[in-house]
Amino acid sequence: MNKIEGVIFDWAGTTVDFGCFAPVNVFVDIFKNVGIDVTMEEARAPMGMLKIDHIRAMLTIPRVSALWEDKFGRAFNDQDVNDLFAEFEPALMASLAEYTDPIPEVIETVEILRNQGLKIGSTTGYTNTMMDVVVPNALKKGYSPDCYITADETNSFGRPYPYMIYRNMEKLQLTASWKVVKVGDTVSDIKEGVQAGVWSVGVIVGSSEMGLSLTEFNQLSEAEKEAVMTKTEQVFKENGADFTIKTMSELPSLIEHINGLIAEGKRPNVG
């Protein structure tokens, strides 16, 4: 059957943890602990990558690199990356369970998709150890995909490499990349989908790219909400997203639309 067979979701900022705050706060803290003040924007910029790769990417931001050299009198090296990650992992683990609430509309949307016969996979920038906390806590609150893959299972090749998507396809027995939709909330998610040859969809409200908590978002005026949503959408589109959705409730109708495109012979990521 030539139609979408499965959807692969990201975790934090897409299905749980509105605004993706669990990791971003810890990234800020571990840099502060070595005497370097990074901004929330700098901490979010590489979001979606494997966490050790995220730390390395933060260190290559020109302003952060300059601060590091001023502080230590040399450029950062791999040992510095490993040392920061050694601080990051236990700090994240200590708070991770608190950031596993499903984002509004996710549970209902997944139920609709399953009732339509779609399989539900997932990829993440978290490690297996981190997912040992996230998965059971999200399950208690009503969200559970059919499978999840971390970069621990792809020789540490996380996003934007496509391998975690391919492993999902293998586990879920999905027959072709163009019959798969990837939904995420970061530039890394979009690039992962593009490089896997699947339909790449950015979800706007609750995303790390937007960077707002649910309370902060709800406090905006309608005009401010529109402005921040438009800005987030543009970032996703500039990085190759086939589509964006404001919230998860739009996904079932988008999949119907994609099925129509497939019937016309259209494929993802080709303009």
pLDDT at 269: 80
Residue 29's CATH number: 1.10.150.240
pLDDT at 1: 77
Q: Distance from CA of residue 113 to its chain's centroid?
A: 20
pLDDT tens, position by position, 101-141: 999 999 999 999 999 999 999 999 999 999 999 999 999 99
**Residue type for position 118:** L
Q: Tell me what the mean pLDDT of segment 215-233 comes to.
A: 98
Binding-site residue set for Mg(2+): 10, 12, 185
Q: Does residue 65 form part of some domain?
A: yes
- The set of residues, in sequence order, having a beta carbon less than 8 Å from that of 227 and lying 6+ positions away, is none
106 and 239 part of one domain: yes
**Domain extent for 147:** 6-20+100-263
Q: Does residue 51 form part of some domain?
A: yes
Q: CA quadruple 207, 208, 210, 215: dihedral positive or negative? A: positive
Q: Tell me what the mean pLDDT of segment 242-269 comes to.
A: 97
Total domain count, the chain: 2
Judged on CB neighbours under 10 Å (0-12, 13-18, 19+), 111 is: exposed
143 and 221 part of one domain: yes
63 and 125 part of one domain: no
- What is d(CA 264, CA 201) in angstroms, rounded to the nearest whole number? 20
231 and 154 part of one domain: yes
45 and 130 part of one domain: no
- What is d(CA 180, CA 197) in angstroms, rounded to the nearest whole number? 9
Query: Is residue 52 predicted with pLDDT exceeding 90?
Result: yes
Q: Does residue 234 form part of some domain?
A: yes
Q: Does residue 128 form part of some domain?
A: yes
79 and 121 part of one domain: no
206 and 111 part of one domain: yes
The reply to whether the predicted model has a pTM over 0.75 is yes
pLDDT tens, position by position, 192-204: 999 999 999 999 9
Decide: 3 and 259 in contact? Cβ < 8 Å: yes
**CA-angle at 174, arms to 173 and 180, nearest 5°:** 155
43 and 138 part of one domain: no
- What is d(CA 69, CA 65) in angstroms, rounded to the nearest whole number? 6
**Beta-bridge partners for 101:** none
Q: What is the mean pLDDT of the chain?
A: 97
End of a domain among 98, 113, 145? 98
End of a domain among 98, 123, 158? 98
152 and 225 part of one domain: yes
89 and 166 part of one domain: no
Query: Is residue 75 predicted with pLDDT exceeding 90?
Result: yes
Identify how many contiguous H helices and E strands the chain contains and give both numbers: 12, 5
Residue 193's CATH number: 3.40.50.1000
Query: Is residue 210 predicted with pLDDT exceeding 70?
Result: yes
Q: Tell me what the mean pLDDT of segment 184-211 comes to.
A: 97
Q: CA quadruple 166, 168, 172, 176: dihedral positive or negative? A: negative
115 and 80 part of one domain: no
Which of the residues are catalytic? 10, 51
Q: Tell me what the mean pLDDT of segment 18-31 comes to.
A: 96
Q: Does residue 45 form part of some domain?
A: yes
Q: Does residue 270 form part of some domain?
A: no
Q: Does residue 1 form part of some domain?
A: no
For the sheet with 6-9, list strands across it.
119-122, 6-9, 180-184, 199-203, 243-245
What distances in angstroms separate CA 160 from CA 54, 187, 207, 230, one per listed residue?
A: 11, 9, 17, 24
pLDDT tens, position by position, 150-180: 999 999 999 999 999 999 999 999 999 999 9
Question: What pLDDT band is residue 270 in, cutting at 50, 70 and 90?
Answer: low
Query: Is residue 246 predicted with pLDDT exceeding 70?
Result: yes
Q: Does residue 94 form part of some domain?
A: yes
The string of DSSP letters for 162-174 reads: SHHHHHHHHHHT-
End of a domain among 52, 83, 98? 98
Q: Tell me what the mean pLDDT of segment 230-258 comes to.
A: 98
140 and 243 part of one domain: yes
